[in-house]
Chains A and B, each alone.
Chain A
Amino acid sequence: MSINTSFPKGVIKKISGRCIVLHGDDIDTDRIIPARFLKCVSFQDLGEQVFADDRTELKGMHPFDITSNKGASILVVNDNFGCGSSREHAPQALMRWGIRAVIGQSFAEIFYGNCLALGIPCATTSKDMVNNLQAAIKHYSQKILELDLNRNSAYFNGVNYPISIESGALEMLTTGQWDATTQLIAQKDSLERVISRLPYLNNFEDKIKTYPRN
């Protein structure tokens, strides 16, 4: 297991690190962290349990066990990664193992949002690009990948792989506002306004009884 004590914080524009490749489409969050490890009131120990069952099955040959992958921080996956359960334990487990960014063909929506809330960008690229990148990493596993969010690029072994990050996520990461709580609380007046006009919070009073039409 990689020891990585510094979790993401503040402005996130560039992430550099060695890569770890995980092949397969539709890898669900039950596989990332099996349900029995959700019996906890803290996320603290999840790093060691990431992909627990897949790792047991592969007897030391799973990418998260292979010695040369130790210390890697950028995970490169295929299609629909993180589907299924909404458990944030999945990105928490990846983060605590040492992952700081994920690149893949596509991500399940809840997983994508959960990663964002931890300051972990999920960057997408085409199927061909993912395949090329995964192949390149296989040959040059010790090289560093440089992910530049503002430039939409992943630079690896002399090749620029175009990536994309959804605009809202990009803004939040690059301005350091991905920990949303503070800005949500700041909108107190607007929240009050919404509450005051929602019929189900106001006994369905006459004045607001139908959907307002402009």
Chain B
Amino acid sequence: MSSGTLYDKVWDLHRVADLPGGSTQLFVGLHLIHEVTSPQAFAALEEKGLRVSCPDRTIATVDHIVPTTSQLRPFADPLAEEMLSTLEKNCQKHSIKLFGIGSGNQGIVHVIAPELGLTQPGMTIACGDSHTSTHGAFGAIAFGIGTSQVRDVLASQSLTMNKLKVRRIWFDGKLSQGVYAKDLILHVIRTLGVKGGVGFAYEFAGPAITSLSMEERMTICNMAIEGGARCGYINPDSTTFNYLKGRVHAPNATSWEQAVQWWQSLCSDETAIFDDEVKFDATQISPTVTWGITPAQNIAVDAKIPKPQSLKDSERLIAEEAFSYMKVKPGEPICGLPVDVCFIGSCTNGRISDLRAAAQVVQGKHVAKGIKAFVVPGSEQVAQTAEQEGIHNIFLEAGFEWREPGCSMCLAMNPDKLEGKQISASSSNRNFKGRQGSSSGRTLLMSPAMVAAAAIKGKVADVREILRESQTY
């Protein structure tokens, strides 16, 4: 059993009561809500005659269903409009702060909470969205919940949970140029599998991790859930504190020093005990692309799609399903595979540094003929910063569309969808069958820079070569 880890400390501080059967009632420090998983929770709350227990610890935004072309109200889709207006009514009724469209702070829930300084080390953070693990990048214990649990958190600011085991994922070395946080986490998921993390919290540590920016750390924790781990986290350090300082909801100057002192005391002790530990070498990681229908089915861009005989028994069945669905052949290279659509955005890779990295690849070049390419900033703040820096013009001149913030084609609950058997190069997080809105649509996950490279070449390409050609490598 783990002890002395950040997870253990935060868990202990938020433990309300032990429940029969060994589960724990855990206090939730920050509850994030959005339009998709909250309406039924509010309805259930009202059915029980309850009110929201801590409205000031509940923050709302709208992201999944918003169109990214025109965000004028009412939305063209009446169902989407009904979902947003229901959220607006619920927030108003229960005095919950809603960062709505045009507020300057609307965006994907996992992008806006960090940029507003709401996400802080040592908190427990819950949201009806599996990618809540993102917030662990700050040294918070953050996890996705279902709608019944959203109801419970609204009613009591707490939920029932079982304590997880802690696996430390240690990275020596440093990422090479042209290799990004996305490649690192895809590498972890390939190695440990999509269910390898079930029952675990993942602590990401080591020199390769501490050298990453906050936004890169968010990409890594975001996809912990794709490896089965409900939460992933990184111990807070000066990178974390520098990111937070001065943000709207971060501690102010009066309490700053004390806050930092407390945050530091939460880091995993040198003597901490982990339930498991896995070591990696970051220098061994290449730009990575998925070829199949789970995020673990990925390879280095210069590698070949695996042959069934090279796979473990347990991986063979789903690999066969993937070959048939993706229409890819075992033993063939992934590099050069033609794509139809290129999507840059999502809670995994829709932040300003992601757009900068993609813009660096795109600058002075043009999207290949016949390719639909678009960029969806993760939030209104990201869009604003990009527009101030002129990044949007780099994309527009290269033939990309520049959209309004939202979840967009990551999950296609809005007009952004693949059509028919289209294949996308996507900076999002899931390549499940049908994920991007077409029941036969295909997704290749990769870093935003790799998506940019694919857009320019019209096929899967090694971003390192493009960077080298641009002599910026």
> Which residues of A are interface residues toward B (Cβ below 8 A)?
24-26, 28, 30-31, 34-36, 38-43, 53-54, 56-57, 79-80, 83-89, 91-92, 106, 108-110, 113-114, 117-118, 166-172, 175, 177, 179-181, 183-185, 187, 190-191, 194-195, 197-201, 203-206, 208-212
Contact residue among A30, A40, A185 (Cβ-Cβ distance under 8 Å from B432): A30
B window 293-313: CB within 8 A of A: 294
21 interchain pairs, CB-CB under 8 A: A30-B434, A35-B437, A39-B79, A39-B80, A79-B314, A85-B130, A85-B430, A86-B130, A87-B37, A106-B195, A106-B198, A168-B22, A180-B148, A181-B156, A184-B25, A187-B17, A191-B157, A198-B14, A204-B251, A206-B258, A211-B9
The answer for the CA separation of A83 and B198 in the assembled complex, in Å, is 10
Interchain CB contact under 8 A, B27 and A191: yes
Q: Is the CB of A25 within 8 A of B317?
A: yes
Would you call B146 and A172 a contact (CB within 8 A)? no
Once A80-B195, A84-B432, A203-B255 are accepted as A-B contacts, the answer to whether A109 and B13 lie under 8 Å apart by CB is no
In the complex the two chains form, is B36's CB within 8 Å of A198's CB?
no
Chain A residues closer than 8 Å to B318, beta-carbon distance: 24-26
Closest 7 CB pairs of A and B: A171-B21, A117-B148, A88-B146, A114-B146, A168-B23, A53-B439, A86-B144
Cα(A200)–Cα(B148), bound, Å: 27
Most B CB atoms within 10 A — which of A39, A42, A108? A39
8 Å CB interface, B100-154 against A: 120, 122-123, 128-130, 132, 144-149, 151-152
Q: Is the CB of B255 within 8 A of A211?
A: no
Bin chain B's interface residue count. 35 or more
1/0 per residue B314-358: CB within 8 Å of A?
Answer: 100110010000000000000000000000000000000000000
Which listed residue, A36, A84, A166, touches B162 by the CB 8 Å rule?
A166
Report the separation of the CA atoms of residues A212 and B14 in the bound assembly, to the nearest whole angstrom. Answer: 12
* Residues of B246-296 whose CB lies within 8 A of A: 251, 254-255, 258-259, 261-262, 265-266, 294
Q: Report the separation of the CA atoms of residues A15 and B394 in the bound assembly, to the nearest whole angstrom.
A: 61
Inter-subunit contact A83/B413 (CB<8 Å): no
One of A42, A175, A199 near B40 (C-beta < 8 A): A42
How close is A201's CB to chain B, nearest CB, in angstroms?
7
A185 CA / B17 CA spacing, docked (Å): 11
B15 and A194 within 8 A (CB): yes
B155→A185 contact, CB < 8 A: yes
Nearest A residue to B255 via CB reads A204
Task: Report the minimum CB–CB distance from B457 to chain A (whole Å).
Answer: 29
Most buried by B among A42, A92, A209: A209
B27 touches A195 (CB 8 A): yes
Query: Closest A-chain residue to B256, C-beta based?
Result: A204
B254 to chain A, nearest CB (A): 8
- C-alpha gap A211/B13 in the complex (Å): 8
User: Is the Cβ of B198 less than 8 Å from the Cβ of A108?
Assistant: yes
Q: Does B234 make an interface contact (CB < 8 A)?
A: no
